Structure 1
Amino acid sequence: MTVSLEQLRRCHVAVDLGAARTRVYVKGTGLVVDEPSVAAVNTRTGALIAVGTFAERMTGRTPDYIRVVRPVSGGTVVDIEMAQRMLRHLLGEKLRRTLRRKPRLRAAACTPHDADPLAQRATVETLVGLGARRVELVDTLIAAAVGCGLPVEQPTATMIMVCGAAATQVAVLSLGSIVTAQRIPVGGEAIDHAVVQHLRHAHELMLPSQAVRPLQIALHGNGITAEGPASTLIHGRDVATGLARSVHVDTAAVRDAIHTPLTAVLDGIGKVLRDCPPDLVADLTDRGIMMVGGSALLPGLDQKLRDATGMPVAIAERPDVCVVMGLGAMLEGKIAPMVLNPLSG
């Protein structure tokens, strides 16, 4: 492992601060928080009005003195004070009291692959502000691989693909460490944005910000594969008149619109495979790619990866919570480090 398992076993709480959702795992209890990383603030008084799901529902529906903010962007804390306030409210008074009773409270948090020192420091300061005396940082790719049950400690190749809201991370792991990895700044939000822009330019239609994910609306059924429905009815607002309007959208055109962001993801996978030793690539021919993260559920994405790489592609059983559950498994001591005995003589 890139981080000491012995240190992680001493931690009491694990936090996954994602761009889309914040998840908290408490040792001995399990997953206690799984809410959107959103907070609503009264700009006149500075008071926090709502956090999580309720704050997300307020997006685009507030008067001018209420601001809806996202203190985490791309897996990095961009507003430490607001992230602390959001976490305090998400944890609740009862759970905060329980954690305060822990002597020398220790916390674990995951950071994106190759996160710069400033981003790592922001994550540490966020949790220190909540009372943690020590914070252990774990690479998101390692935590995700553990969370979906991959044999990361074995001398065989495992390929993990973390499909986040703001970025996609791809890596090949062996012997508990990352052999080669790539972070692509394209995630579920970029794909949704491509669909929104297509509808605006081709149909002069604006989708409400709080509509069900535009991609899920436009690409139901078999999703981005050609076997999907020929057209889909979309409801939105006319760009010119501002009135409500419905149009039938050709799903083939939508598939073309999201081709550019998906191409960037496929290029990233190709680079990881090119940088990987041939022996490990041979292992991946049988083992394939494991997809985790909320955007892994994008309909048809797994089939597109199979067609592009020629390798098996599987989606984890609970892809959205794999990262925090992997951190939790490390906290509970469920991962045993591989011991290499030096040869004598």
Structure 2
Amino acid sequence: MFSLRADIGIDLGTASVLVYIKGKGIVLQEPSVVAIDKNTGKLKAVGEEARQMLGKTPGNIVAIRPLRDGVISDYEITERMLRHFINKSAGRRFFKPRIIVCVPSGVTEVEKRAVIDASNQAGAIKTYLIEEPIAAAIGAGLDITQPDGNMIIDMGGGTTDIAVISLGGIVVSRSIKIAGDKFDEAIIRYMRKKHSMLIGERTAERMKINIGTAYKRTKEAFMDVRGRNLVTGLPTTLKIGSSNMEEALYEPVTAIADAVHSVLERTPPELAADISNKGMVMTGGGSLLYGLDKLISERTGTKVTIVEEPISCVAKGTGKSLEWIDMLETSLITDNARR
């Protein structure tokens, strides 16, 4: 049957936005960055094109990341970014789309309302929210409807969401604002403190991807890092090893391991037994940091598995939940009729 409406699932992440269209799958994956001309207020670039401008713009152009720590920090820019991505991925439709957006498990009611309002203003006829651990579990292919304990660790750019799920709901959870962005900040601080070198966000991100480590590597990896020497003020290049990155990232990765440990401590014993048997599942781009799964496994004594496509896992789960959007609509109509 032909449909004039596109039902859309959006993983509105601090680092990137992924858009899933029902019947098509993931159609867009772009960085959550917007470049704006300060003089005119016009959008100069959105997504990957804007990310290339980070730290390289002239005075009249500013590259902004409108989401910080998993929530909206600049409402107007987020709305404009969302409208751009919705139009780019779904095109012009006769009817406005119904949209499901995933949010961290620890967001407040005010933060939820900001997401709903931004999505509706960007072109949705109706916006639903789904918590990231639930979406991650669905995307990972876990059957969360059964009375079994499933533990999800979802690490994005702004937040790490840790949750124990059973019977379709979250039993115990914790959301901390330590994830990929905090890794980058820790690397920048380390380079400034230990090597008197100033580097940018993009360089720190490349270091995290190429030589970043949370657990001692069997073979040392190296990378040439370019930045500005804080003593001479001149450009310089240093050879940095993965053992340096292990030192730089010690605090944030330890905080994440401690958060996982605290969730396990609060988990009911029957569900803890299930988790001990099945292990934990890690999703999100932050889970790709070398050795993080080994560190958590060593600290908790529980097996940790990283899903095949961790970056797109939450978006896939959000997209799969679109199958139930008609049920949500029906239940809302029924509830309203009863009132």
Q: With structure 2 as the length reference, what TM-score do the two structures score?
A: 0.89
* Compared CA separation, residues 210 and 296, structure 1 to 2 (3 A): same
* Compared CA separation, residues 332 and 266, structure 1 to 2 (3 A): same
1:333 deviates by: 4.9
* Compared CA separation, residues 183 and 93, structure 1 to 2 (3 A): closer
1:231 deviates by: 5.4
For residues 75-90 of structure 1, what are the structure 2 equivalents within 5 Å? Answer: 75-90=70-85
Q: Distance in 1 between matches of 2:255 and 2:116?
A: 31
* Compared CA separation, residues 174 and 130, structure 1 to 2 (3 A): same
Indicate if the aligned counterparts of 1:113 and 1:169 stay in contact, CA closer than 8 A: yes
RMSD across aligned positions (CA) = 2.1
* Compared CA separation, residues 74 and 223, structure 1 to 2 (3 A): closer
| 1:24 lines up with 2:16 in the alignment | no
Q: Distance in 2 between matches of 1:248 and 1:160?
A: 36
* Compared CA separation, residues 112 and 247, structure 1 to 2 (3 A): same
1:233 deviates by: 3.7
Moved more, 242-251 or 198-207: 242-251
Secondary structure at the aligned position of 2:226 is classed as strand
Corresponding pairs, count: 321
The residue type equivalent to 1:215 in the other structure is K
Q: Distance in 2 between matches of 1:12 and 1:223?
A: 39
Indicate if the aligned counterparts of 2:6 and 2:21 stay in contact, CA closer than 8 A: no
1:288 to 276, 279, 296: 279
1:180 deviates by: 0.2
Moved more, 262-271 or 76-85: 76-85
Q: Distance in 1 between matches of 2:138 and 2:251?
A: 31
Moved more, 246-255 or 291-300: 246-255
2:128 to 129, 136, 140: 136
Q: Distance in 2 between matches of 1:209 and 1:78?
A: 18
1:57 deviates by: 0.4
1:224 to 215, 219, 222: 215
* Compared CA separation, residues 55 and 268, structure 1 to 2 (3 A): same
Secondary structure at the aligned position of 1:276 is classed as coil
For residues 62-211 of structure 1, what are the structure 2 equivalents within 5 Å? Answer: 62-92=57-87, 95-98=90-93, 101-102=94-95, 105-211=97-203
1:262 deviates by: 1.2
Indicate if the aligned counterparts of 2:282 and 2:305 stay in contact, CA closer than 8 A: yes
Partner of 1:327: 318
The residue type equivalent to 1:208 in the other structure is G
Q: With structure 1 as the length reference, what TM-score do the two structures score?
A: 0.87
Moved more, 201-210 or 260-269: 201-210
Q: Distance in 1 between matches of 2:246 and 2:237?
A: 20
* Compared CA separation, residues 149 and 273, structure 1 to 2 (3 A): same
Partner of 2:335: none
Secondary structure at the aligned position of 2:54 is classed as coil
1:249 deviates by: 3.1
1:230 deviates by: 6.8
Q: Distance in 2 between matches of 1:301 and 1:47?
A: 41
Moved more, 256-265 or 293-302: 256-265
| 1:244 lines up with 2:244 in the alignment | no
Indicate if the aligned counterparts of 2:226 and 2:237 stay in contact, CA closer than 8 A: yes
2:207 to 194, 205, 214: 214
Indicate if the aligned counterparts of 2:211 and 2:221 stay in contact, CA closer than 8 A: no
* Compared CA separation, residues 313 and 63, structure 1 to 2 (3 A): same
Q: Distance in 1 between matches of 2:278 and 2:6?
A: 32
Structure 1 alignment gaps of length 5 or more: 1-9, 337-345
